[in-house]
Amino acid sequence: MIKGLISKWNNLKISNDVMFGMVMENRDICLKLIQCAVPELKVTKIELNETQRTINGPIDARGSRFDVYAQDEKGRVFVIEMQVANRHNLPYRLRYYQDQIDYDLLKVGDDYDKLSGYPTYVIIFCDFDYYGRGWSKYSFQCRCDRDPKLTADDGQHKVIFNAKANDFHDSIEIGNFLKLMENQPVMEDPLVSQVVQEMERIKQDPERRQKFMSYEMNLMDARAEGRAEGRKKTIKATAQLLSEYEPDREKLIHKLMDKFSLGYDEAKQYIE
């Protein structure tokens, strides 16, 4: 079992959200990734970068945990996520993320004008082509139906990258990072080279490795203990354990769906 966990740790790729988050703790790499993802912004400095940042809305609303939350010297906010599995709800996830970002920025008593100083960019790296056009990059803003050249000018931007694309001419700066997601490293690329080196450094860190293995072993123990009590108790025990590491309710539901081949409504019952 230990050998299997060590092998799993050693083989983590950048497309794994755990590894992605750890790599993005490196502020220089985070800056370079943003520069490649949205080169038109000419970002020169990151004032803040947090990984696994949790934003809790009203008491009766679900919270969100972002893989990466960053802010540059001009106040622009960047939320960056790695998505491997297609949950068929990407547009609605983007919608909620934007709402949560604004909720976090606007405090009680603040005027709406405050948001004008915080343009937001939600950037999602997908290992699938959600919109099916074959493009490597999809960019969205709120626009007028009558005149698409007229934007709402609300400062909200959504950028989705598709690592399955075959042609990266429309996003050449980030193309080699997308190839790295597919385990096709182009080591001549400075960003890719730095990311690969950072991944190797992380994998050599005994403390990080131990935390990862403890988490995986706890999951195994929960399954083993629950097995004797029946399938429902197994799922309930696993849901309880996962909830300690995953505050995002939607992600928790889908993890249960994946692990136990459950339908959405069935998995939802175990966390209510």
Supply 227's token pair.
Answer: 């097995």
Supply 225's token pair.
Answer: 């203990």
Task: Look at residue 226 in the predicted model and tell me its pLDDT.
Answer: 57
Task: Look at residue 57 in the predicted model and tell me its pLDDT.
Answer: 66
Residue 42 backbone class (left: φ over 0; alpha: ψ -120 to 50; beta: rest): left
How far apart are alpha carbons 161 and 125 in whole angstroms?
Answer: 5
Q: How far is CA 43 from CA 29, 125, 152, 190, in A?
A: 13, 19, 23, 17
Do residues 94 and 142 lie in contact, with contact meaning Cβ atoms separated by under 8 Å? no
First to last CA, the chain: 32
Strand order in the sheet with 120-126: 46-55, 64-72, 77-83, 120-126, 156-162, 137-140
Within 10 Å of residue 45's Cβ, how many Cβ atoms?
9
Task: Look at residue 65 in the predicted model and tell me its pLDDT.
Answer: 85
Q: Which of 37, 18, 88, 12 is nearest to 257 (CA)?
A: 88
Q: Using CB atoms within 10 A of its CB, is residue 7 exposed (0-12), middle (13-18) or buried (19+)?
A: exposed
Task: Look at residue 56 in the predicted model and tell me its pLDDT.
Answer: 72
Backbone angles phi, psi at 76, to 5 degrees: -65, 135
Annotated domain spans of the chain: 13-203, 206-269
Which residues lie below 8 Å from residue 10, measured CB to CB, with a gap of 6+? 203
Task: Look at residue 38 in the predicted model and tell me its pLDDT.
Answer: 96
Within 10 Å of residue 23's Cβ, how many Cβ atoms?
22
Query: Positive or negative CA dihedral for 189, 76, 201, 214?
Result: negative
Task: State which amino acid sits at residue 167.
Answer: D
Task: Look at residue 60 in the predicted model and tell me its pLDDT.
Answer: 59
- Tell me the helix, strand and coil percentages in the chain, rounded to 5: 50, 15, 35
How far apart are alpha carbons 1 and 75 in whole angstroms?
Answer: 47
Mean pLDDT by 10 residues, the chain (272 residues): 85 92 96 96 96 75 84 97 94 94 92 96 97 95 95 96 86 90 95 97 93 78 64 80 76 82 84 74
Task: Look at residue 90 in the predicted model and tell me its pLDDT.
Answer: 96
Q: Which of 165, 164, 129, 179 is nearest to 14 (CA)?
A: 179
3-state secondary structure of 49: strand
